[in-house]
Structure 1
C-alpha cells in the first residue's frame, strides 16, 4: 500500500489513496441507489399490473351479467299474454243480415261477402246460422226478423243468403235483441261461445235508447259477442255502437266482403 514515513516511523496514507477510496465509496453508493430504484419501479409495475388484472376480473362478471340481462329482455315483437290476439273464430257464428230496401245498392256484394265469410268460419269448425231482418212486410208477420238457417253446416248459409230479396225498413234494434237471446241459448246448449255478426245499413228506430240498452243487456249472456259492419252512408246507431264489441263502417261496397269476413274472425 502507498504510505510514506514522516521520519518518526509513523506512516500515513498518501492523499491520492484517500481520494480513490472516497470515489469508490461514492460509486458504490450511487450504483446501489439506482439498483434500488429499478427494483422499486419493477415492484410498482407488478402491483399496477396485478391491480389492473383484479379490476378486469371484477368488471367481467358485471359485463357478463349486463349482457345476460339484455339478452333476457323480451323482443318488442315477442308475443306476450297481455297482447295476445283474441279468439279468431267462435265455435258458433250467427250472421244477422239487414235485407231492407237500404241494402239494395249493395245487395250482390254483401250477400257474396256473407257467403264467403260463412264458408271461411265453417272451414275452421264453427257452427253457422243465418237470420235476415227488415220490418214486417206481410199481413201475417209480427216481427221484422226471420230465422232462416239453424246452426250447422256453413254451406247451408252460403246457399240461402243468395236467395234473399230486399224490402221494408231496418228495424235493427229488435232484431239484435232477439239474435243475442238466441246466441245465449246456443252458448248454453253447446257449452261454447257464440258470435253474432250483424251487417246493417242503419236503424229505423223501433225501440228507444233506454229500452234497447236494457233489453240487450238482459238478452246477452256470458260467452256471447257482437260484431257490427255498418254498410253505406246512413247515420250510425250510437247505442248499437256502444253495445258492439267491434264496430266498423263500410262506405265503399268493394270493401264489404273483406270487412264481413274480418268481423266473423276469419
Structure 2
C-alpha cells in the first residue's frame, strides 16, 4: 500500500501546479451558473483550490484515497469559497469512482497514471457530464526519462519491480484523442515538456520522493538498511543523470494533456 506525505509532495508545489494551470487555461466555459465539479485525485487540495478561483460559484468536490492527503486538504481548503461556492473533500477510489449526478466538469491532475486501464473509465465519466460539460486531465509522460528508468532498474535488482508503474502507465496524446473522440467528444490533446529548474542538494531525488518513488519507500518501510541502500544507489545515479548547472538542476518533465467537451446536442 502506497502511503503519501503531503509535506514532501508540496515541497515542489509551484512546479507541480503549473501543468494544472495550463490545463485549466484550455478548459472552455462551463454550462452551469453554479457548476458542479469533481477533481479526481485531489491530493492535498492546493490545485483543487485553483478550480474555485476559475469558477467562484462552483460546488467542487475533491476525491482521493489517501487519508493523509485528504486531512491536509480539509484543514487548508474545505468550506465555503469567497465567490459563493464550496469546496469539499471525500474519500474515493478513482479506479471505481463513477458520477452519482451530472457534472459540469470532471478533472484530474497527475493521477490517472496510477489507475491501470484508466481509459476504460472514460465512458462512464463522459456519460456523467451534463451536455456541454468537460472532462480534462493531465498525466506525466516521463516514464522513459532517466529518473524513472533508473528507478525501475534499481527496483528490479532489489526484487521490487512489481511495485512500480512501467512505460505503458500512460498513453500518447493521439490515443487519448481517439478514445475520447470515439465517445462523441470534441477533443484537444497535446503534450509539453517542461524544464523545471530545481534548487538544493539532490533535488530530483527530493522530487520523486513525493511521487513516483512512494511505492518503493512503502515497500522498504520495515527494512531501513535496505531502504538506505536503495536511496544511496539511486541518489548517485540521479546525480550523474541530472548534473547541476550554474543556476540549479534542470529537470525535463514531459506531460500529456487532454480536454474533451461533451457536445451540447447531447441534451435530452
- TM-score bracket, normalised by the shorter chain, equals 0.3 to 0.5
- TM-score norm. by structure 2 comes to 0.33
**Greater Cα radius of gyration, structure 1 or 2:** 1
Higher share of residues assigned strand: 2
